[in-house]
Structure formats: structure tokens, C-alpha cells
């Protein structure tokens, strides 16, 4: 085992802190802060694991995951996101990502997720349905994913103006206890 991890996130401070914590635990790390950097590293370096932010600037981390998995089908990838949605989680799992974690999270949780080979059957099932605003956000994410991230096509399909859809997508998702 070469214990190497690629970290792809546009938050440079987060990358540096995570990288330092992983190196203190014996891992070799490389960091990419945008899509182009991640492309270059993927072409030149093979990691055993990857931690990829779902949103890297204006680019999708799912594209980075796809590149990684095409080059190394056995790589273990964890998606990190502050914008979790059912649609993006489903797409990540379809690609072959092994885990999908929401930010903030800690290094131990990330490492546990990276080495996880089986589903966690003890995951907690919510006791109440999602709020309407959260369901709307989830639906927008699903339609956007179905249109390969094309906001204009998604807006047309939803019957709304493109700028309205962009504005709704930029808002953080509503949490369960928000009304």
C-alpha cells in the first residue's frame, strides 16, 4: 500500500490543513485547487485515494472523479461537499465514488470513509420528511444533473428563467430543521 491521497478542493486553506493532518498520519499527499491542476496531477501521479470537493470553483468535482476512475478504476474516492443533495450523491455513487460526506467533517471520518469497502447498515434513517424548500432544491439538483450541468437546458425544462435557476442553485440548501 503506498498510502497516497490526492486532495482536490478550491479552498486552499482547507487543502493545506487536511494535507498536513494526513501527512502527520503517514500519507503522501498532493493538492489541486482547480480542475486544470487536478488534470495535470492525475496524468502524472497515481494515488491510492482521493478526496474531492463536489464544487471546485465553477467546475464539478464529479468530472474529476470520472477522470480519476477512468485512469485508475480501483482508486477509492470520497466526495466532500457543503452542498449535499440526493441527485449529486446518486451521480457520485453511479460513477464509483465510495463515500459522500458533508462538510464540515474531520480527518478521522474522511480516513474511515476512504477505507470503507461496504455499506454502513447502521446509517440513521430520518424520522420526518424533508422541508418543501429542501425538496425544491433537491429537484433542481436532479434536473440539473439530468441535463449534464447545463443550466440553460435545465431552466428551460423547469419552465423558469436561467438567472432565477442560477440564483436558486447558489443558495445553500435548506437543512432539515429550517422552515
Q: In this prediction, what percent of the chain has a pLDDT beyond 70?
A: 85
Mean pLDDT across the stretch 118-126?
57
pTM of the predicted structure, to 2 decimals: 0.69
Q: What is the pLDDT of residue 118?
A: 60
Classify 86 in phi/psi space as left (phi over 0), alpha (psi -120 to 50) or beta: alpha
Q: What is the pLDDT of residue 179?
A: 41
- For the stretch 93-107, pLDDT in tens is 888 888 888 777 788
Q: What is the pLDDT of residue 43?
A: 93
Q: What is the pLDDT of residue 150?
A: 86
At 140, the pLDDT band (50, 70, 90 cuts) reads: confident
Measuring CA to CA, how many Å separate 143 from each of 14, 72, 101, 149, 160? 30, 29, 22, 9, 12
Neighbours of 78 (CB within 10 A): 25
Mean pLDDT across the stretch 137-152?
79
At 178, the pLDDT band (50, 70, 90 cuts) reads: very low
**Rounded Cα distance, 80 and 27, in Å:** 19
Residues near 14 by Cβ (< 8 Å), separated by ≥ 6? none
Q: What is the pLDDT of residue 107?
A: 86
- For the stretch 153-176, pLDDT in tens is 989 999 999 898 888 877 766 555
**Rounded Cα distance, 104 and 101, in Å:** 9
Fold of 4-115: Rossmann fold (3.40.50)
Kindly list the domain boundaries of the chain, sorted by start residue. Answer: 4-115, 124-179
CATH classification code of 124-179: 1.10.10.60
User: What mean pLDDT, rounded, does the chain reach?
Assistant: 83
| Residue 123 confidence (pLDDT) above 80 | no
Amino acid at each position: 500500500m503506498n498510502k497516497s491521497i490526492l486532495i482536490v478542493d478550491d479552498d486552499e486553506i482547507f487543502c493545506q490543513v487536511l494535507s498536513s493532518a494526513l501527512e502527520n498520519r503517514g500519507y503522501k499527499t498532493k493538492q489541486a485547487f482547480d480542475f486544470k491542476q487536478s488534470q495535470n496531477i492525475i496524468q502524472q501521479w497515481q494515488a491510492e485515494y482521493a478526496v474531492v470537493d463536489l464544487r471546485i470553483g465553477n467546475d464539478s468535482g464529479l468530472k474529476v472523479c470520472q477522470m480519476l476512475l477512468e485512469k485508475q478504476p480501483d482508486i477509492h474516492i470520497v466526495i466532500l461537499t457543503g452542498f449535499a443533495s440526493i441527485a449529486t450523491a446518486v451521480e457520485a455513487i453511479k460513477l464509483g465514488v465510495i463515500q459522500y460526506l458533508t462538510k464540515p467533517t474531520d480527518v478521522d471520518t474522511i480516513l474511515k470513509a476512504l477505507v470503507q469497502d461496504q455499506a454502513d447498515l447502521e446509517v440513521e434513517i430520518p424520522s420526518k420528511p424533508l422541508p418543501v424548500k429542501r425538496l425544491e432544491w433537491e429537484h433542481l439538483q436532479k434536473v440539473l444533473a439530468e441535463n449534464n450541468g447545463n443550466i440553460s437546458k435545465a431552466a428551460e425544462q423547469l419552465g423558469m428563467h436561467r438567472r432565477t435557476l442560477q440564483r436558486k442553485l447558489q443558495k445553500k440548501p435548506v437543512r432539515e430543521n429550517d422552515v
